[in-house]
Structure 1
Amino acid sequence: MTIPFLAPRESYLELKEEIDSAYQRVMNSGTYILGEEVRQFETDFATYCGSKHCVGVASGLDALILSLKALGIEEGDEVIVPSHTFIATWLAVTSVKAIPIPVEPDPATFNINSDQLECAITSKTRAIIAVHLYGLPADLPAISYICKKHNLFLIEDAAQAHGARVNGTRIGSHGDAVCWSFYPGKNLGAFGDGGAITTNSDIIAERTRILGNYGSKKKYENEVCGVNSRLDPLQAAMLRVKLNHLDRWNKHRQEIADIYISSLTGTGIELPVIPVNYDHVWHLFVIRHPRRDSLQEYLAKNDIISLIHYPIPPHLQEAYRSNDLIGHRYPIAEKMAEQVISLPIGPHIGDQTAHFIAGCVLNFLASNSS
């Protein structure tokens, strides 16, 4: 039997009675845009994150775009971004006609290297987007300090890090705006697209809510040119159910990660490094190996589906071919793109399966030791 990389249907089967009840509750309510389900999820998620506000939106990308707009980022402004990340981080910046300024990752953590940030700051820099990649928080203490020192906005791309902690505090309120995705494969995933912004700022919360509702706070009175980006009440109701199980699911992810780490330490596989006092929630378990493609083929022959996050760095994507970045090299991001491979992890992976996957990786290494 094939071991899938993702199995989002499993969360439905596990929570079928609760989710079906939530579905019926929304359908019977007659409210299919915004309403009490969205308001209640926003309250629940803000409380979970330790933030004052949560604003539901249609996707994680929309959360980033609306946050940038709410902060007044506009054409010609520079926003520092990681060179190694999902392209949505960059797309949000170019969507508001600002300029993405890439900074290389720390090879040990995959996250943006805070030691290189100040070298990238210019008179045009307005913000830094810190991505908590794969479920590990970025270096928030250092990045927050740099933002305050240079009077920059801090936006967190937390799409992969629901429940992660830094120094015992959950992410969700460190930056000016924290942007979330509820894509089905996330640790807290909906059954369709969805996203949110958490913040402690009354002003940012109000601006993002207005911008995502056609620029309107009161119906038919449009204060600014906004868009339609609202969290669907059906998804909100199901997210309310799932939120109650998130910490348990994250704990299981940690247990699977522990099996991988204990099995693969000292084998030549480059494993993730977790800084002291950082809680990784293991949205992805990403390793590095110079013969990545061969390893992926070997796993596939053993009915294990793995994925590559991400095979092409943003600066090499066709979408940015006309950007000023042409000719610039980001060797760490490029090397990662050639070597990273993600092993299956999630609530659908049991201990025995994790041991089998780790064993297959070990067998590959043994067969290629010469």
Structure 2
Amino acid sequence: MILNVARYNYPEQFGPSFDRLMENIGTQILEGRYILTDEVKQFESAFAGYLDTGHTIGLNSGTDALIIAMMALGIGLGDEVITQANTFYATVAAICFVGATPVLVDANPHTFLMNVAQVEHAITPNTRAILPAHIYGACTPMDALLRLSQLQSVYLLEDAAQCHGASFEGKRAGTFGEIGCFSFHPSKNLAAAGDAGACVTDSAVLADKIRVIRGLGQGRPNEHVALGLNSKLDSIQATILTWKLVLLDAWNESRQQIAANYREQLTGLPVVFQETPAGSTHVYHLFQIKTDARDNLLDHLIQAGIDAVVRYPQPIHLQPAFKAQGWNRGQFPVAEDLAATTLCLPIRPDMSETEINTVCGAIRSFYGAGR
């Protein structure tokens, strides 16, 4: 089958000076500059500056960022962490890996983000943290969660894996709570050439703890002062991320324009779009539409050579890995509905008008609608 509209275009992410980047990387390889080099420090400084936060600590993955953030805060056995039922597996798995108990709230049916109104009722004496996931690229309304975390004296963490550059009321996602956790997986708006991640924080104390944990618990060489992991951002990935970071805002603006084009062309069809909360920006890591005919529409798009995909077709509370948590079908109805009805359309910063029209034309033809 011919692919008419691809989901990714990796060559476009590197621009016309790719040879210069590869020469830089080749030098690092030949000189053995792999781990915690100046290139890593350069990216950490640049990303902290981009977010206007105090510290970035580069790590092996976004999953490690979540785990290490909770380790740095001392979250563990007997503690509860509140998150949402419509997030990626890693958000909840990280809570379990540190020995804590995940407590779920449902999604907001309009924004597809955490239902902030349910969080207060989920707090118990064992709650140690609230962990919203800024899903699909939209920033969760953080004002209410920030007030609640301060009032209840619990930590506020952020799973910012899908929202590089998004903001709420002018403040970047990932910088509201004690620690923000980022992924730079190749699918992300800011993408490494493999797995990579980071924690960001304004706290120098927490930054130092995270650095110790990522380096096998070493305070200095051969002195292990804490239990730690081996989770260090390598120099090659750091170089690639620094290379791309200067383009991130322009890419996000392109994604927003493409999303607006999709909305304009698809308005009037029996599809629902994710709403962006007031005060938030959306950087469209994914462009989701909601339709009762999701599976048939997906088949139609694939047959038309359009690389559409379903993300998270099974919500967290119904995943076999979390059976021991005792969650039941029907417990989080909005998350279940989103899992059954949402579909991601291709969205890349370099998408052409022809590609956008191809996607929209295929959807209109599925519904028997003209232009």
Other structure's SS at 1:279 match: coil
The question of whether the paired residues in 2 share the 8 Å contact of 1:265 and 1:271 is answered with no
CA deviation string 1:81-128 (max 9, x = no partner): 110011110010000011110101111111101111101111111101
The question of whether the paired residues in 1 share the 8 Å contact of 2:113 and 2:133 is answered with yes
TM-score by length of 2: 0.96
Counterpart residue number, 2:288: 286
Counterpart residue number, 1:50: 52
Answer yes or no: is 1:321 the counterpart of 2:330: no
* Distance in 1 (alpha carbons) for counterparts of 2:149 and 2:30: 47
The question of whether the paired residues in 1 share the 8 Å contact of 2:140 and 2:277 is answered with no
The question of whether the paired residues in 1 share the 8 Å contact of 2:141 and 2:279 is answered with no
The residue type paired with residue 24 of structure 1 is: G
Structure 1 residue corresponding to 2:115, chosen from 113, 125, 149 = 113
The residue type paired with residue 244 of structure 2 is: K
Answer yes or no: is 1:345 the counterpart of 2:353: no
Query: How far off is 1:30 after superposition?
Result: 2.9
* Distance in 2 (alpha carbons) for counterparts of 1:339 and 1:8: 29
Counterpart residue number, 1:262: 264
Counterpart residue number, 1:230: 232
CA deviation string 1:313-335 (max 9, x = no partner): 11111101222324662111111
* Distance in 2 (alpha carbons) for counterparts of 1:145 and 1:315: 27
* Distance in 2 (alpha carbons) for counterparts of 1:162 and 1:29: 32
The question of whether the paired residues in 2 share the 8 Å contact of 1:296 and 1:341 is answered with yes
Counterpart residue number, 1:65: 67
- Decide which moves more: 313-322 or 164-173: 164-173
The residue type paired with residue 129 of structure 1 is: L
Structure 1 residue corresponding to 2:191, chosen from 189, 192, 207 = 189
Q: How does 1:1-370 map to 2 (within 5 A)?
A: 1-2=2-3, 3-12=5-14, 14-326=16-328, 329-366=331-368
* Distance in 2 (alpha carbons) for counterparts of 1:93 and 1:231: 22
The question of whether the paired residues in 2 share the 8 Å contact of 1:256 and 1:350 is answered with no
The residue type paired with residue 41 of structure 1 is: F
Shift in alpha-carbon separation, 1:309–1:25, aligned structure 2, 3 A: same
The question of whether the paired residues in 1 share the 8 Å contact of 2:160 and 2:181 is answered with yes
Shift in alpha-carbon separation, 1:22–1:254, aligned structure 2, 3 A: farther
Other structure's SS at 1:116 match: helix
Other structure's SS at 2:174 match: coil
Unaligned 5+ runs, structure 2? none
* Distance in 2 (alpha carbons) for counterparts of 1:305 and 1:348: 15
CA deviation string 1:179-215 (max 9, x = no partner): 0000011000000100001100111111111011000
CA deviation string 1:113-156 (max 9, x = no partner): 11111011111111011111100001111111111111110110
* Distance in 2 (alpha carbons) for counterparts of 1:250 and 1:144: 26
The question of whether the paired residues in 2 share the 8 Å contact of 1:84 and 1:314 is answered with yes
Query: How far off is 1:14 after superposition?
Result: 4.8
The question of whether the paired residues in 1 share the 8 Å contact of 2:254 and 2:350 is answered with no
* Distance in 1 (alpha carbons) for counterparts of 2:105 and 2:20: 44
The question of whether the paired residues in 2 share the 8 Å contact of 1:259 and 1:355 is answered with no
The alignment covers a number of residue pairs equal to 368
The question of whether the paired residues in 2 share the 8 Å contact of 1:51 and 1:199 is answered with yes
- Decide which moves more: 293-302 or 358-367: 358-367
Query: How far off is 1:10 after superposition?
Result: 3.2
- Decide which moves more: 124-133 or 345-354: 345-354
Other structure's SS at 1:54 match: strand
CA deviation string 1:151-178 (max 9, x = no partner): 1101100001001111122223211000
The question of whether the paired residues in 2 share the 8 Å contact of 1:26 and 1:237 is answered with no
* Distance in 2 (alpha carbons) for counterparts of 1:24 and 1:214: 28
- Root-mean-square deviation (Å): 1.6
Query: How far off is 1:61 after superposition?
Result: 0.2
The residue type paired with residue 260 of structure 1 is: Y
Query: How far off is 1:45 after superposition?
Result: 0.4
The question of whether the paired residues in 2 share the 8 Å contact of 1:109 and 1:273 is answered with yes
Shift in alpha-carbon separation, 1:341–1:259, aligned structure 2, 3 A: same
Shift in alpha-carbon separation, 1:84–1:286, aligned structure 2, 3 A: same
Unaligned 5+ runs, structure 1? none
Query: How far off is 1:236 after superposition?
Result: 0.2
* Distance in 2 (alpha carbons) for counterparts of 1:151 and 1:15: 49
Query: How far off is 1:9 after superposition?
Result: 3.9
Q: Where do 4+ consecutive residues of structure 1 move more than 4 Å?
A: none
CA deviation string 1:286-310 (max 9, x = no partner): 1100010000011011110111111
The residue type paired with residue 102 of structure 1 is: L
Shift in alpha-carbon separation, 1:124–1:190, aligned structure 2, 3 A: same
The question of whether the paired residues in 2 share the 8 Å contact of 1:22 and 1:238 is answered with no
* Distance in 2 (alpha carbons) for counterparts of 1:37 and 1:13: 20
The question of whether the paired residues in 2 share the 8 Å contact of 1:114 and 1:142 is answered with yes
The residue type paired with residue 360 of structure 1 is: A
